[in-house]
Amino acid sequence: MWAAIGSAIGLGSIWRFPYIVGQNGGAAFVLLFLICLFLVSLPVLMTEVLIGRKQQSSPHGSFRALGGKGWGYVGTMTIITGFIVSAFYAVISGFTLGYLIEAAFGHLIPLTTANLAGAYFARLVSSPYWSVTTLIAFMLISTGILYFGVQKGIEAKNKFLMPLLFVILLVLVIKGVSLPDAKKGLNFLFTPDWSLITPAAVLTALGQAFFGVSLGQGTMVTYGSYLSRKESIPSTCLPITLAVILVSLMAGIAIFTVVFSVGVTPDSGPALMYKTLPIVFAKIPGGYFVGVLFFLLIFLAALTSQISAMEPLIAYLMDEKNFSRHKAVATTGIGAFIIGLPCALSFGALSHIQIMGMNLFDFISETTINVLIPLGGLGAVILAAWKWGIKKAITELHVGASALFKRLPLVEGYLHFTIKYLAPVVIILVLLNSIGIL
């Protein structure tokens, strides 16, 4: 569970969630995100973990064993999706590593205004040297951990690192709500204006609900394959979802109280975290140490998520293509770097290249998160509910969780309805809307 929480909690909750909330109207989007989490994402999470535990295999092997040869390709698609995630994720993770170094040298403390913080971020990411160097450094660290096989030690430390991250976020929240005009930020985050919700916002909310819990990428199927049949899948998955909600909301409070206090526009995009939090570090006692510790923890959280995103492809290359582990790791790492390189340069040297009005980083990340990841989740629920059979799936969910189902009989009805009907219908409708059919 802690390994999965470490995979789920990372830049998706702390970096991406606040900026897409800012771009999609605030509180109404937050409620939409929560609805997607409990009615779609949580059932899909249980389904993916269930598929992995049932077959004790990789996503490709698990999907193929349950559905036949054709379904193996669906499992492979989720592995490829996770690989693409690891490529663009490494870019922002590299930025976080770079900001950790900047914080350690005290370069963030003078950033006392939004203009200073925004200009500093723009100067860094537009530099090919800085953006490419941070990407290379992060890829070397994450690939090195996988190459030398020490990722289990990193995952074990999540029991310590995740609670510490909560504490640091709490410090930032307390400081944020004490700032002038912080109430405007809280209203933006918790007072909904439903007129701001658009079909595109629904798609983005669903994508974030999946991305925030590491769905559709082969990750949770892989973690499920490590799960003992004595363990309760619902009792394992619910804390993961609640942890993602808690961290996302805390990050939102910490950032939007600053946003409205210092006059940053909430729709500042991917730079939002980097434009706001340095201002807090400059204004609180011990801000230097809090800033260093914050970016250190975010870097470690990003590292565990990156390892989780790369591992399914590594396992696939070993199991299906007979690669040695070292060759599989090197292949995955080099491939992720090749895809990540133009994404890193899209903030500067390649910023003139636009696809559908987006730079390369935004296009690749948004397409992956809003289309490929929901498709992977859709494949999992259709496989479990319609190919394998919802009765067999629910029966398998009872294994290790019989006491829970006896104590809360409505849980079975909730899972039956959401896995078989609600989740697939919602995902299909949202995807049809995204390609213009609806």
Q: pLDDT digit string (tens) for 373-402?
A: 999 999 999 999 999 999 999 999 999 999
- Mean pLDDT value across residues 236-246: 90
Domain 2-434 architecture: Orthogonal Bundle (1.10)
**Quick one: how far is CA 427 from the chain centroid?**
18
**What confidence category does residue 159 fall into, taking pLDDT thresholds of 50, 70 and 90?**
low
What does the block give as tokens for 90? 């490494």
Residue 19 has pLDDT above 70, yes or no: yes
Window from 47-51, 259-263, 333-337, 411-415 with minimum mean pLDDT: 259-263
**What confidence category does residue 8 fall into, taking pLDDT thresholds of 50, 70 and 90?**
low
Instruction: Measure the CA–CA gap between 375 and 377, rounded to whole angstroms.
Output: 5
Instruction: Measure the CA–CA gap between 218 and 308, rounded to whole angstroms.
Output: 9
Q: Give the model's pLDDT for residue 151.
A: 55
Q: Which residue has the tokens 């995955």?
A: 332
Q: Which residue has the tokens 């007072």?
A: 191
Q: Which helix (H) or strand (E) holds 59?
A: helix 59-67
Q: Give the model's pLDDT for residue 380.
A: 96
Sign of CA dihedral 88, 56, 72, 49: negative
Residue 257 has pLDDT above 70, yes or no: yes
What does the block give as tokens for 156? 């074990």
- Mean pLDDT value across residues 156-182: 80
Q: What residue segments make up the domains of the chain, in order of their start? A: 2-434
What does the block give as tokens for 34? 């929560």
**Quick one: how far is CA 348 from the chain centroid?**
25
Task: Report the phi/psi class of residue 228: left, alpha or beta, with left for phi > 0 and alpha for psi in -120 to 50.
Answer: beta
Q: What is the pLDDT of residues 270-297, one digit of tens each?
A: 888 888 888 888 877 888 988 898 888 8
SS3 227: coil
Q: For the chain, what is the mean pLDDT?
A: 89
- Judged on CB neighbours under 10 Å (0-12, 13-18, 19+), 334 is exposed
With a threshold of 0.85, does the pTM exceed it? yes
Q: Give the model's pLDDT for residue 315.
A: 83
Instruction: Measure the CA–CA gap between 216 and 82, rounded to whole angstroms.
Output: 8
The residues that bridge with 355 in the sheet, in sequence order, are 358
**What confidence category does residue 191 fall into, taking pLDDT thresholds of 50, 70 and 90?**
very high
What does the block give as tokens for 103? 């914080």
Instruction: Measure the CA–CA gap between 240 and 63, rounded to whole angstroms.
Output: 23
Q: What is the pLDDT of residues 56-81, one digit of tens each?
A: 888 999 999 999 989 999 999 999 99
